[in-house]
Structure 1
Amino acid sequence: MAVQTVSREYYKNRRSLSERFAEMDEKIKVPSFRQSTGKANEVNYWVFDYPPEQELEVRSHIEWLKKRNSKGFDDYELIIYDLYDIIIDRLTEKGYIEKTKKLESRGGIQHVVTAIQRMLRITDKDNYLVRYMEEHTPENAVVLITGIGKCYPILEAPEVFNKVLYNLPQKFAATPVILFYPGTYTEQELVVFNEFVEDSYYRAFRIAR
């Protein structure tokens, strides 16, 4: 995986986190946002990228959105999927936590990545994460996906889009899905933690500039 430092010029042009939160929050409230299939007939998938050092502020804002939504202030249901929590719960359910620790000590992180992806059946269209989201996402929902930084390198953002979201059933076509990404997304490439370039990706859009 290539190493890249995001340019200072990029950060100079990026607005504050609070301004970008405000833009995202306003978009989510608009009914047409939850009926659209994105730009140019694309799927309704979005990225909110942010500096990794602002992780706690991002978590706090997501928690605030969750509390507001639970009080009935919105005309949609906010669904939050923490990928890391989902994976840990699955490992616990299958009794694999200790086995995973031993596997890492013997063979390193890449062996763990391979084993967990096999458990999730991540290369199958009907993989575990696809089924989980299908079973837990109601109609008229806005989906927030978090935890991608905690999952790295077990799951990378391009895998989430290509192997999970694009295999969701047709009923998800108008469901907005927002991936919270610790790093930079330029709508051409993903740079996780603003250091490592992941596979090129073009089909999701930045929800806040």
Structure 2
Amino acid sequence: MNLDERFDKAEEIIKKRFFRENKGLGNEVGYYIFDYPADKELFVRERIDYIKRKNENSSDDYKVVVFDLYDITINILKEKGYLEKCYDFEKKRGFERITKAVGNMLRLTSSDSLIIKYIKENVPEKAVIFITGIGKSYPIIRSHTILNNLHQVIDNVPVVMFYPGNYDGQELVLFGEIKDDNYYRAFKLVD
């Protein structure tokens, strides 16, 4: 299937009640990964926006909610008054240090992650969550960190992570080049 056909299939799947109720998954919340070639990022963004707008104008009994990890990070930095300070810090200390500092400020690896808290506070009862911005937020935010922390707090609605790279059902390879050595308990949404 080409990418357009895979999106059509994904739309069909998320409309099905069994998908949103997580039936057939051992009563475990559904976590899904929709992988795609990184060079198709702009197409994917447009298609996700299309799906979201289509859902808003429909009589569906659920809401598609899109969380862009990069946008959330920037908004948190702005709210805390750190964004401009981050620019100065990066100039003085370098990219690796600012990456670590921002990750620590966001508490990415802890149970009180600011990004996970934001997502949790902004999910309606009947929803399908789309997680985007994986490539834009790398290396500050790692997809395995988000998936692992979301598993602990989101257990009532399905989550679809749009991943610019490859997922074989166990391993993620960002941009088709950067292998993540973590195992994932997520289903591939569409092959």
**What is the TM-score when the length of structure 2 is the normalising length?**
0.94
| Secondary structure at the counterpart of residue 190 of structure 2 | coil
- Which of 137, 151, 157 pairs up with 1:166? 151
- In the TM superposition, residue 197 of structure 1 has moved relative to its aligned partner by 0.5
Q: Is the 8 A contact 2:108 2:141 kept in 1?
A: no
CA contact (8 A) 1:130 1:167 kept: no
Note if 1:125 corresponds to 2:111. Answer: yes
> Could you tell me how far 1:32 is from its partner in structure 2?
0.9
* Matched AA of 1:167: Q
Q: In the alignment, what sits opposite 1:190?
A: 172
Structure 1 residue runs of 5 or longer lacking an equivalent are: 1-14
Equivalent residue for 1:9? none
1:99 aligns with 2:81: no
Match of 1:70 among 37, 52, 56: 56
Letter in structure 1 aligned against 2:152: N
Is this contact kept in 1: 2:62–2:126, CA < 8 A? yes
User: Which residues in structure 2 correspond to 1:42-121 (within 5 Å)?
Assistant: 42-121=28-107
Unpaired runs of at least 5, structure 2: none
Q: Is the 8 A contact 1:188 1:202 kept in 2?
A: yes
Corresponding residue number in structure 2 for 1:16: 2
- Whole-angstrom distance in 2 between the partners of 1:76 and 1:42: 19
**Using the alignment, how far apart are the partners of 2:121 and 2:170 within structure 1?**
31
- Going from structure 1 to structure 2, the CA distance change for 1:37 and 1:98 (only over 3 Å counts) comes to farther
Mapped partners of 1:17, 1:180: distance in 2:
12
Identical-pair percentage? 45
- Pairwise CA RMSD of aligned residues? 1.4
For 1:167 and 1:173, the matched residues in 2 are separated by 7
Aligned pairs, number: 191
TM-score (structure 1 length as normaliser):
0.86
